[in-house]
Chains A and B, each alone.
Chain A
Amino acid sequence: METIGIIGGGSFGSALADLVGNRGYRVMQWHRDAASAQRFNELRVNEKYLPGITLSENVQATADLQAVASAARFIIVSVPSLYFRDIARRLGNFLDGGHILISTTKGIEAHSFKLMSEVLREETCCLKIGSLSGPNLAKEIAARKPSGTVIASQYDEVILKAQEILSGPYFRVYSNHDLYGVELGGVLKNVYAIATGLVAALKMGDNTMGMLITRALAEMSRLAEKMGANPITFLGLSGVGDLVTTCTSPLSRNYRVGFLLGQGHTLDEAIANIGEVAEGINTVRIVKEKAGQLGIRMHILEGLHALLFEGKDLPTVLQQLMNVPQMQDVEFMTRHGSEKPGV
């Protein structure tokens, strides 16, 4: 029985550990502190992040990175972006070029605008690197509800191996070679979940929601294309799929932040109320700066930035948003894209 490594004892790492364990693999899951690993081994339940769900018998927790690296050739890294680089570097002490590393963390490094797969590349000697991204709420995967995800890598070997390990009766794994685009989709959608939360709280209606999500997609792919990703990637599960789920699910922290803001709470109140990190708030700041450097207009993002950090009030921001120039609906289309031959 092959051993699969999972770095991170959070909700998503645990949901994947259970999934892989149920597929018949031995799973070694690294927790940051030894007590938490020991507690899990006694109870088979991750009390803090995935309470009430007993994980597969095949999952074993440890606090020893080296043990994971020497037992597993396929390692999934699922730790918050804040600690990602540090943990990757420590893990890197025990890796060799044969290891396959998969990041599931949807985050971006503030000072460098680096995505997590890039951090893995910099902090380890591994080249066979991939990213797993899509509409994947940990609680639903743990509850074995049908879900789909995308494995992205430049290496066919990584894609095939990930599909072999992860796909099963309630989990479908699609492939994409556009690693950067897939990862960027997972990062950017958090921003727009805040906006849709707002719109939902204000009961603006379904037309508004439809427009918002679609224009969000336009903005995301515009930035991604400029950064070297393929905008078509955003039509897939890691783009539209993840965006729709995050933007409409009350399970999403970013959506809840937006919802509280829409109800008239301040940003600080909203953050305090959620009690967990809502990545989208930082992402707004980081992406706004990047878009400025690249000379790309991202109106919804700019509106959110004005609301969250520039002290603008909601009616003003909304009015500005409704007054931005009306551009072409679908950007990556030629003028004659709809012409039929012979017409």
Chain B
Amino acid sequence: MPEIQIDTTPVPSPGITPSPTPVSGADGIGLRLNREQREYVRREVVRRTLEEQKELCRRSRDLNLEVIINDAVYQEKERLKTAPNSKENREQSRFWADVGRRFHRVEDSERESILASIVAMYVDEIMGYFNPVIHNIAAHVLPWGLKAMLSRFSPVNFLRYLGSQLNLEENLIISGPLDQIRGLSKRAALIMAPTHVSNLDSVVIGLGLFQSRLPPFTYGAGLNLFSNRVVSFFMNNLGAYKVDRRKKNGIYKSALKQYATLSMEMGHHNLFFPGGTRSRSGEVEQKIKLGLLGCGINVYAANLVSGKPNPDVFVIPCTLSCGLVLEARSLIEEHLQETGKSRYIRVRGEYSRPMRVLNFWRNLQSMDSKIHMRFGEPLDLFGNKVDADGVSRDAHGRAVDRTKYLQINGSVTQDAQRDQEYTRELGRSILAAFRSNNVALSTHIAAFAAFQQLRRLHPQFDLYRSLRTMGSDHAVAKSAILGDIARLLARLRELEREGGIIVDPQLADASAEAVFARAMDHFSSFHDGEALRDGTTGVYTENMKLLYYYRNRLDHYGLDTVLEN
């Protein structure tokens, strides 16, 4: 097989030191680039994206710049047809109409500059925190006295303020090998890879990282996150960049990947949700998107070739667990309607209303409900665990020389197919870490027991029929549910000893009754109590789908067989 040496041309411009220490504010918070750095990033992403597209054309006979631009024009026009009528969207429509008129009958060199202008527009959008429109929205109406914060505009003060407002010290339980992660952050670029449950995750994680004294991370955040003004303000402040999952054309995807790659090359720590989107079904992630995650290998290879002193990129899996989820109702609906998965992404919902979010949070606090943020063991890009000294370890704890994965006959070689498989392996390790760091909470356990009981009432119903038809006239005896909760608890504790899951520490010695009572406290306070009710006729649900959603958090642990036997 031909050996292709990796292109080592990208050399950081003056003004950016290629050190693994993130370019950050003096206070260590917020990855804000200065004007010179910003210009460099913009220029470099445009150059690399252009290069990548031209390389694609060279490799494929059916592909040329005209086809690539045409595809983007078509997809963007389609997208804009259903987009809301806003100033920004009108501007975009004009932009694409203009491109659409120009790109056909021109020389290839002219086409290149059209492509460059498209990429430049995308880069500006991705680095959106410079977008004055967004800033205006953020500054428009802010609750909780945040206006005062705005005037001071210090991210550290902002985080401290928000943390104290939310009683974070008490409500967010952070665990995992924190010292190890802090240590590794000084010698490698990190990729934080959290599970994704709710739009509030980004805020919780941001605050959690701050509270755990971890270095700042650059976020790749879904555009829909920016629909809540508070979160939007928060994200912008931390230097989040925007990922618009509705844009599916090759140019956009390539620009996004090049941006993430460049950011890692500059030594920034990155955060992205490897599942790509919030878990619609409520399950812990079962699939990983390889796109952004795969950038890590390219960065590592380029760093090895250029002989960087700290070439490594490590991945930190992070599992978030919460007893109630703000958007549960719409998430499970979207899961059940095929449309929810990719074709239709809600930008506004429960989440976009700031007061609703605040009430939700206060509710959780009143129930002494904790959010659990668990960091898994750090991983290298090939799925091996990495110890505190930065040494990769195989399943038997033997040291692994990770540079060898990329070498043939002693030199680093590029092989996109191989690297994609490596990223798949990494994905498997991340998924395993998600599963074993998932915290089983009272609502999950009670929902699991109740849901399985209800299903057994009508074994002839398939899943969808039970979701549609089961309601308040289908009740099961509380004693039956308590019996099943007891059996689930026993199995979950056993699994926990084997390292397969975490049981909520607040339930350490809890009886089935206590678990059920705690779950009912939660369920009755939210979703209008629909998920589960404890009535005179027995225990029943008014929203089987919601129950299904909370039940799914404990799917894939073989618990159904525990109840059947």
Q: Do A and B come from one complex?
A: yes
Task: Judge whether B169 is part of the interface by a CB distance below 8 angstroms.
Answer: no
Main secondary structure of the interface of A (DSSP, over half): loop
B401–A155 CB distance below 8 A: no
**A97 touches which of B395, B402, B421, B424 (Cβ 8 Å):** B402
A160–B382 CB distance below 8 A: no
Task: Judge whether B117 is part of the interface by a CB distance below 8 angstroms.
Answer: no
The number of chain A residues with a CB under 8 A from chain B is 18
Main secondary structure of the interface of B (DSSP, over half): mixed
Task: Judge whether A269 is part of the interface by a CB distance below 8 angstroms.
Answer: no
Task: Judge whether B560 is part of the interface by a CB distance below 8 angstroms.
Answer: no
In which size bucket is the chain B interface?
Answer: 20 to 34
**Stretch of B119-127, B404-412, B508-516 with 4 or more beta carbons under 8 angstroms from chain A:** B404-412
* Known contacts A93-B398, A122-B395, A125-B400, A98 near B417 by CB under 8 Å: no
Task: Judge whether A66 is part of the interface by a CB distance below 8 angstroms.
Answer: no
Task: Judge whether A157 is part of the interface by a CB distance below 8 angstroms.
Answer: yes
Query: Which residues from B are CB-within-8-Å of A157?
Result: 1, 415, 417-418
B417–A155 CB distance below 8 A: yes
Tell me the nearest residue of chain A to B410, going by C-beta. A98
Q: Among A122, A124, A127, A155, which residue has the most Cβ atoms of chain B within 10 A?
A: A127
Task: Judge whether A156 is part of the interface by a CB distance below 8 angstroms.
Answer: yes
A92–B421 CB distance below 8 A: no
* Known contacts A92-B398, A125-B394, A155-B418, A97 near B1 by CB under 8 Å: no
B417–A156 CB distance below 8 A: yes
B421–A89 CB distance below 8 A: no
Task: Judge whether B81 is part of the interface by a CB distance below 8 angstroms.
Answer: no
Q: Give the shortest distance, in Å, between B543 (CB) and chain A (any CB).
A: 30
Query: Which residues from A are CB-within-8-Å of B398?
Result: 92-93, 125
Task: Judge whether A167 is part of the interface by a CB distance below 8 angstroms.
Answer: no
Task: Judge whether A33 is part of the interface by a CB distance below 8 angstroms.
Answer: no
Task: Judge whether B300 is part of the interface by a CB distance below 8 angstroms.
Answer: no
Bound Cα distance from A122 to B383, whole angstroms: 12
A98–B408 CB distance below 8 A: yes
Task: Judge whether A154 is part of the interface by a CB distance below 8 angstroms.
Answer: yes
Query: Which residues from B are CB-within-8-Å of A86?
Result: none
List A149-166 residues whose CB lies under 8 Å from chain B: 154-157, 160-161
**B394 touches which of A92, A128, A154, A155 (Cβ 8 Å):** A92
Task: Judge whether B534 is part of the interface by a CB distance below 8 angstroms.
Answer: no
Tell me the nearest residue of chain B to A2, going by C-beta. B409
Query: Which residues from B are CB-within-8-Å of A89?
Result: 396
Task: Judge whether B384 is part of the interface by a CB distance below 8 angstroms.
Answer: yes
Task: Judge whether B422 is part of the interface by a CB distance below 8 angstroms.
Answer: yes
Bound Cα distance from A92 to B397, whole angstroms: 11
* Known contacts A154-B421, A155-B417, A127 near B405 by CB under 8 Å: yes
Q: Give the shortest distance, in Å, between B524 (CB) and chain A (any CB).
A: 38
List B208-244 residues whose CB lies under 8 Å from chain A: none
B417–A124 CB distance below 8 A: no
Q: Give the shortest distance, in Å, between B392 (CB) and chain A (any CB).
A: 8
Query: Which residues from A are CB-within-8-Å of B418?
Result: 128, 155-157
Query: Which residues from A are CB-within-8-Å of B402?
Result: 97
Task: Judge whether A96 is part of the interface by a CB distance below 8 angstroms.
Answer: yes
Query: Which residues from B are CB-within-8-Å of A92?
Result: 394, 396, 398
Bound Cα distance from A125 to B395, whole angstroms: 8
Q: Give the shortest distance, in Å, between A166 (CB) and chain B (any CB).
A: 15
Bound Cα distance from A157 to B422, whole angstroms: 12
* Known contacts A89-B396, A125-B398, A127-B421, A160 near B1 by CB under 8 Å: yes
Tell me the nearest residue of chain A to B394, going by C-beta. A125
Q: Among A92, A96, A124, which residue has the most Cβ atoms of chain B within 10 A?
A: A96
B417–A96 CB distance below 8 A: no
Tell me the nearest residue of chain A to B393, going by C-beta. A125
Task: Judge whether B425 is part of the interface by a CB distance below 8 angstroms.
Answer: yes
Query: Which residues from B are CB-within-8-Å of A160?
Result: 1
Q: Give the shortest distance, in Å, between B106 (CB) and chain A (any CB).
A: 38
**A125 touches which of B384, B407, B417 (Cβ 8 Å):** B384
Closest 3 CB pairs of A and B: A97-B405, A98-B404, A125-B394
Contacts beyond the supplied A98-B408, A156-B417: 6 A-B pairs with Cβ under 8 Å: A93-B398, A127-B425, A154-B421, A157-B415, A157-B417, A160-B1
30 contacts between A and B (CB under 8 A): A92-B394, A92-B396, A92-B398, A93-B398, A96-B400, A96-B401, A97-B400, A97-B402, A98-B405, A98-B407, A98-B408, A124-B394, A125-B392, A125-B394, A125-B398, A125-B400, A127-B405, A127-B421, A127-B422, A127-B425, A128-B418, A154-B421, A154-B424, A155-B417, A155-B418, A155-B421, A156-B417, A157-B1, A157-B417, A157-B418
